[in-house]
Amino acid sequence: MIPKTSLPRFTRSAVYLRTYSTKMGPVPLAYHLHPAPIPSAAKNDSPLIVMHGLFGSRQNNHSISKALAKDLNRPVYTLDLRNHGESPHTPYHNYEVMAEDVEHFLQENKLGPKTVLIGHSMSPPPPQLHFNSTLTPTRGAKTAMAVALRKPSIISSIIAVDNAPIEAALHSSFGGYVRAMRKIEHSNLTNTKEADAILAEVEPDVAIRQFLLRNLVRSDSGRLGFRIPVGTLARELDNMSAFAYHPDEVRFEKRALFVRGTQSPYVPDEAVPIIGRFFPLFRLKDIDAGHWVISEKPNEFKEAVIEFLNEEE
């Protein structure tokens, strides 16, 4: 359970006015930089960009990013994608606009073509995946894949964690999460146990409930709300199943690492040939874990990333 004192406070200017944007085009992303221990090292121009998944934030990747910066001696940036964390809220939420945000971030921070993108879905996996001829992927690491396919010249490689470029319609549990989160916001709650009880009506897993409740903030009056725009994300859930690419039309002809949790259904064997069509130079790394590969097996994940990146040198 989230302690009451740990909840961040929000004000009208800090959340509703500062973060809400209706403009077209990219939005500036909030981020945290874990600098390379030795700034003068040659690897300093080979940054890593780490991205969270739906309902997550850059805080989810703090520990692994800090460890990678130290062990690789590279700067590591953890991002809050739009409508998440401290980044701006907009009415638009799909992989095209999220990829555009990341491309803008690279340009604004003068990060060169040696940049590596790491993306992971933080969502609980659906019971089964559905394939069709359109090969439409959803969620998490898909933002990294979209950047790679849109602008391959601006990065050197990608690392996709437990996701594949296949169609996987959002499980019905997501609709339940959204309804419960909206109920929490409309109930004028002041106690996190009450918020957890509402989520428990749709999600029995305590870890998933705690993950969702990390988005809670407390107003000056003590009322609980979510720092993410729940209504926008609810409306855009269908767009999270849309992906504008087909492997016969566009490919990423650079190195890619796909890390698969062997106890997770997100990257079934049937998806491997499809990965190869989009990313012909890909490598698959299996780790004995569920969907939450990074948190379940952080050392194994870190070793896989280090091995993959060291091979580029």
Residue 305: other Cβ atoms inside 10 A: 24
* Token duo for residue 4: 């009451």
Contact of 200 with 174, CB cutoff 8 Å: no
The catalytically annotated residue of 32, 34, 89, 291 is 291
Query: What dihedral angle (degrees, nearest 10) is formed by the CA atoms of 119, 160, 97, 21?
Result: -10
Residue 41: other Cβ atoms inside 10 A: 14
Contact of 254 with 125, CB cutoff 8 Å: no
In the chain, where does DSSP find H-type helix? 62-72, 95-108, 142-150, 172-186, 192-200, 206-213, 230-236, 272-278, 293-296, 298-310
Q: Which of 52, 48, 51 is nearest to 69 (CA)?
A: 48
Question: Residue type at 199?
Answer: L
The catalytically annotated residue of 121, 123, 157, 295 is 121
Q: How many residues does the chain have?
A: 313
Question: Quick one: CA dihedral 283, 57, 172, 15, positive or negative?
Answer: negative
Residue 291 catalytic?
Answer: yes
Q: Measured between alpha carbons, how far is 141 from 259 in angstroms, rounded to an integer?
A: 11
Question: Residue type at 213?
Answer: L
Q: Which of 228, 226, 229, 210 is nearest to 218 (CA)?
A: 226
Residue 161: other Cβ atoms inside 10 A: 31
Q: Measured between alpha carbons, how far is 139 from 95 in angstroms, rounded to an integer?
A: 8
Question: Residue type at 192?
Answer: T
Task: State the catalytic residues.
Answer: 121, 291
